[in-house]
């Protein structure tokens, strides 16, 4: 058997290459790193939408910059990608034929599509997966200890918000009783339909009265699979549970309560952007918003783009006329690019970067 660390390297390289290939010629070599890390910056969130990279967002939240650089070096070294100038001091890349061949081979070997496809069909899952999992995790640990009659324990989930959420669910005695009596059946029902190699990845990651959870890495050693593949499969498992619960809530009255509340319009807008949106709705100009909130104008502009993406009801016409939007989208389509500078030059600098970004965001959101 190949050493697990080598397998892990290859697997991560493959994920990276397959994910980033749609960014070839369009974005820098760092753009995909931010997506994997799940950066909340607007540019990153917009790239996720624009290039349909939902399965990759926050896939590896702890990937270090140095690790990413190493991945890139290896991809370049093996001739799978080639660097190419983008703008004055930015570098993008192209995918080579060997790269294409290598990645599609690996993709089939590991059967990655079966674990990722879900996220395309249900983009909402991604933004809520972490919260749902943590709530479920703490709920299981709490109930496990309650059922054992040993109600004081050390919670593995330290997040305050999650803790108060679970507390509030169990506060009322009748509701608590319902949880204690019903959790096993609901969880069993939700897990039973999963492939048998996915089930233990979830169950062994729970803590309880007589079980300390295993980490992803420890599971990887048990299963003799690369840790990142374990993570991919585990995410599939959690997402499947979430989707079942969401689609048939009457079958899962308890678990349904763990799904994070939808924000307005199902958006994944940052709370900071939401705050800006609130002020915008009061007709407060950009400059003033920046001043009130103690943030820069640039940040407010980022928020505007974010809002354009997520809030179909928002009226962007004070910043962007219909005519301008039409021209920008046309140019983008004609040049096959979403790069701001190219679009701006093609339109003789008639529109600001903000306007171009807004137009692309609105165009994309309505697709």
Say whether residue 142 binds another protein (CB under 8 A). Answer: yes
The angle formed by the CA atoms of residues 38, 41 and 47, to the nearest 5 degrees, is 75
Closest CA to 32 of 45, 19, 43: 19
Q: Which stretch binds another protein (CB under 8 A): 22-30, 51-59, 72-80, 147-155?
A: 147-155
Residue (63 or 346) nearer to another protein, CB = 63
Say whether residue 114 binds another protein (CB under 8 A). Answer: no
Residue (101 or 177) nearer to another protein, CB = 177
Residue (3 or 88) nearer to another protein, CB = 3
Name the maximum alpha-carbon separation found in the chain: 73
Closest CA to 217 of 207, 209, 229, 208: 229
List residues bridging with 276 in a β-sheet. Answer: none
Say whether residue 271 binds another protein (CB under 8 A). Answer: no
Q: How far apart are CA 103 and CA 110, in angstroms?
A: 11
Which of 153, 314, 319, 353 contacts another protein by CB under 8 A? 153
**Residue 365, Cβ neighbours under 10 Å: how many?**
15
| Smallest distance from another protein to CB 228, Å | 13
Say whether residue 89 binds another protein (CB under 8 A). Answer: no
* 99 burial level (CB within 10 Å; 0-12, 13-18, 19+): buried
Say whether residue 313 binds another protein (CB under 8 A). Answer: no
Who contacts 255 (Cβ-Cβ below 8 Å, separation ≥6)? 136, 186, 187, 190, 241, 245
Residue 170, SS3 per DSSP? helix
Q: How far apart are CA 356 and CA 278, in angstroms?
A: 23
Q: How far apart are CA 34 and CA 57, in angstroms?
A: 8
Distance of alpha carbon 81 from its chain centroid, rounded? 25
Say whether residue 154 binds another protein (CB under 8 A). Answer: yes
Say whether residue 217 binds another protein (CB under 8 A). Answer: yes
Which of 45, 95, 140, 316 contacts another protein by CB under 8 A? 140
DSSP class of residue 265 equals: G
Closest CA to 64 of 37, 41, 31: 37
Which of 106, 123, 155, 260 contacts another protein by CB under 8 A? 155
Which residues between 37 and 66 bind another protein (CB under 8 A)? 61-62, 64, 66
Say whether residue 279 binds another protein (CB under 8 A). Answer: no
Which of 215, 248, 281, 321 contacts another protein by CB under 8 A? 215
Which of 19, 38, 208, 237 contacts another protein by CB under 8 A? 208
Residue (196 or 283) nearer to another protein, CB = 196
Residue (77 or 149) nearer to another protein, CB = 149
Q: What are the residues binding another protein (CB under 8 A)?
A: 3-5, 61-62, 64, 66, 134, 137, 140, 142-144, 146-149, 151-160, 164, 167, 170, 173, 180-181, 183-184, 187-188, 191-192, 196, 199-200, 203-204, 206-218, 221, 294-296, 299
């Amino acid at each position: 058997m190949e050493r697990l660390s080598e397998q892990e390297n290859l697997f991560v390289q493959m994920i990276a290459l397959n994910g980033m290939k749609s960014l070839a010629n369009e974005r820098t070599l760092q753009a995909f790193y931010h997506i994997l890390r799940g950066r909340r910056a607007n540019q990153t969130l917009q790239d996720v939408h624009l290039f349909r990279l939902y399965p990759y967002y926050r896939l590896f939240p702890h990937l270090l910059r140095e690790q990413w650089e190493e991945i890139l070096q290896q991809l370049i070294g093996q001739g799978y990608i080639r660097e190419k100038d983008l703008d004055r001091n930015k570098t993008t890349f192209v995918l080579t034929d060997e790269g294409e061949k290598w990645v599609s081979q690996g993709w089939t070997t590991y059967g990655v599509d079966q674990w990722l496809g879900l996220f395309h069909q249900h983009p909402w899952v991604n933004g809520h997966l972490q919260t749902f999992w943590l709530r479920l995790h703490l709920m299981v640990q709490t109930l496990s200890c309650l059922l054992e009659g040993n109600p004081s324990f050390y919670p593995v989930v330290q997040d305050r918000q999650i803790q108060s959420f679970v507390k509030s669910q169990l506060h009322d005695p009748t509701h608590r009783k319902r949880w204690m009596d019903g959790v096993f059946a609901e969880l069993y029902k939700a897990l039973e339909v999963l492939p048998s190699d996915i089930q233990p990845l979830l169950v062994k990651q729970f803590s309880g009265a007589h079980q300390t959870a295993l980490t992803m890495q420890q599971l990887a050693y048990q299963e003799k699979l690369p840790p990142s593949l374990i993570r991919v499969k585990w995410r599939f498992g959690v997402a499947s549970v979430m989707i079942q619960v969401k689609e048939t809530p009457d079958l899962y009255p308890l678990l349904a309560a763990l799904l994070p509340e939808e924000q307005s319009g199902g958006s994944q807008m940052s709370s900071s952007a939401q705050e800006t949106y609130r002020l915008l709705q009061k007709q407060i100009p950009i400059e003033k918003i920046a001043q009130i909130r103690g943030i820069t104008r640039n940040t407010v502009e980022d928020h505007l783009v974010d809002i354009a993406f997520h809030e179909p009801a928002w009226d962007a016409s004070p910043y962007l006329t219909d005519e301008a939007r039409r021209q920008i989208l046309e140019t983008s389509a004609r040049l096959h690019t979403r790069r701001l500078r190219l679009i701006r030059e093609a339109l003789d600098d008639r529109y600001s970067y903000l306007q171009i970004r807004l137009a692309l965001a609105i165009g994309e959101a309505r697709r």
